[in-house]
């Protein structure tokens, strides 16, 4: 399996950075997926939304591939590398639920956040189902034909009884969850352009899957 060493990698501004393990893992996962699918050409010159930006692995990947701006949304705080936070191409919204983010003032309510129009979304969220977020992106943030790269985590779609220390051990159960999710995508008019299991497992060993989706 190919690996990518991102420790002490230079950012686009030439600054050298000692990346955290979480950053390295996220960056490597999405880079390996792009090596198979080649979606990153869609990022060049685009405004990219990073949902669940965390330490910034996906954000840095987008910048590396030519994104002119990344709007990073994170429910937590103080996770993203300070050099990315300081990058004027990154607009970070911490302590922010993506369900409270809109691109239209007409749709937003009081206390919601209105951001600039985005062209593409990257998504890596944990501890919640991704379904409500995908519907929100489709209805309130992304237009028809726009793309989403999602890291789907079956363990957060599973019932508690199907998990052993947070891991889906039963491969049939995982296949059923993935199949159900893909049926849901089609029912909600998301086109699956490409899909591939992540070459790196989740932190506890769960097999996760990347999807390249198109909004219709």
Q: DSSP for 135-157? A: HHHHHHT--TT-EEEEEE-GGGT
Helices and strands counted in the chain (H then E): 5, 11
**Which is more confident, 21 or 197?**
197
The Cα 71–Cα 69 span in angstroms is: 7
Q: For residue 19, what pLDDT is reported? A: 52
Q: For residue 20, what pLDDT is reported? A: 80
Stretch 85-106: mean pLDDT, rounded?
Answer: 96
pLDDT in tens, 8-63: 444 554 444 445 888 999 999 999 999 999 999 999 999 999 999 999 999 999 99
- Burial profile 43-65: b = 16 or more Cβ within 10 angstroms, e = fewer: beebbbbbbbbbbbbbbbbbbbb
Stretch 205-216: mean pLDDT, rounded?
Answer: 95
pLDDT in tens, 103-139: 999 999 888 999 999 999 999 999 999 999 999 999 9
What is the pairing mode between strands 163-164 and 167-168? Answer: antiparallel
Contact 23, 53 (CB under 8 A): no
List of domains in the chain: 21-215 (3.40.50.150)
Helix boundaries (H) for 54-211? 57-64, 82-85, 131-140, 171-187
Residue 194, pLDDT above cutoff 70: yes
């Amino acid at each position: 399996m190919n690996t990518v060493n991102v420790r002490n990698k230079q950012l686009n501004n030439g600054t050298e950075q000692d990346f955290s393990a979480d950053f390295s893992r996220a960056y490597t996962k999405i880079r390996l997926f792009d090596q198979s699918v080649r979606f990153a050409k869609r990022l060049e010159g685009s405004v990219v939304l990073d949902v669940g930006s965390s330490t910034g692995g996906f954000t840095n990947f987008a910048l590396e591939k030519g994104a002119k701006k990344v709007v990073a949304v994170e429910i937590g705080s103080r996770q993203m590398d300070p050099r990315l936070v300081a990058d004027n191409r990154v607009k970070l919204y911490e302590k922010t639920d993506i369900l409270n983010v809109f691109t239209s003032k007409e749709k937003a309510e009081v206390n919601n956040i209105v951001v600039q129009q985005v062209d593409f979304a990257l998504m890596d969220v944990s501890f919640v189902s991704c379904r409500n977020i995908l519907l929100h992106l489709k209805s309130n943030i992304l237009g028809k034909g726009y793309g989403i790269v999602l890291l789907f985590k079956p363990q957060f779609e599973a019932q508690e009884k199907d998990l052993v220390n947070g891991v889906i051990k039963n491969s049939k159960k995982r296949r059923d969850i993935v199949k159900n999710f893909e049926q849901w995508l089609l029912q909600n008019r998301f086109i699956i352009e490409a899909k591939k299991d992540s070459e790196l497992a989740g932190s506890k060993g769960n097999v996760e899957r990347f999807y390249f989706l198109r909004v219709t």
